[in-house]
Structure 1
């Protein structure tokens, strides 16, 4: 599916995997360790949602409405910044994470969330 072939999605996925690999090796690079996953979260999650919508509706020029991103930011913020820190001391609430979610959603909307260019006629 061409949705997953977008360079911003591929770059986000590669950076996420690289950051996870570094953390798995106990190599922590601040501020990447604290905020990179939160920044890349929305482009990755929203691209999967976009691909699912395009596949479900069989409409490959479908774009996600902005309200989907607002809901995603709100739900991720509530779950990861309010609920989880109350349930476990492993998690900490951080307002900067909400800003990273928002910036990631903007990145998604400005780059990935576009109707594909029509194929050239022969």
Structure 2
């Protein structure tokens, strides 16, 4: 499971946990509160998908094609910014969230989404 030990993924998970803890403590830093979870969503979700693919196919050199990453960004933006807000007052459509998803997708694609070294090529 080396994929799940990638430093960028671990930093994303840590930042997400800290941000959630701050929110639970009613400490709201506007930019973090509004966009950090959206920025971290793609690296966290896509890393889990990448790890599952590598484990299933036992191929540590597998990387997600850019079309899958773009599709995930588009799906999140469509669902969370267009579909969900009219049905839930807790959700607000914000085009900057889509920018955050895109930046998170790029972060994943250019850092985490790399073949594992040959030492241990499984997940």
TM-score, normalised relative to structure 2 = 0.94
* In 2: Cα distance, 1:91 partner to 1:118 partner: 44
Residue number in structure 1 paired with 2:30: 30
Paired with 1:6 and 1:90, the residues of 2 have a C-alpha distance of 33
Which residue does 1:51 correspond to in 2?
A: 51
Query: Aligned residue for 2:113?
Result: 113
Aligned to 1:97: 97
Mapped partners of 2:33, 2:104: distance in 1:
16
Query: After the TM superposition, which parts of structure 1 deviate over 4 Å for at least 4 consecutive aligned residues?
Result: none
> Matched residues in 1 for 2:26 and 2:43: separation?
25
Aligned positions, number: 119
Which of the pair has the greater relative contact order for Cα pairs under 8 Å at 6+ separation?
2
What TM-score do the two structures reach when normalised by structure 1? 0.95
Residues of 2 paired with 1:116 and 1:74: CA distance? 27
CA RMSD across the alignment: 0.7
Structure 2: where are the runs of 5+ without partners? none
Q: Which runs of 5+ in 1 are unaligned?
A: none
The structural deviation recorded for 1:89 is 1.4
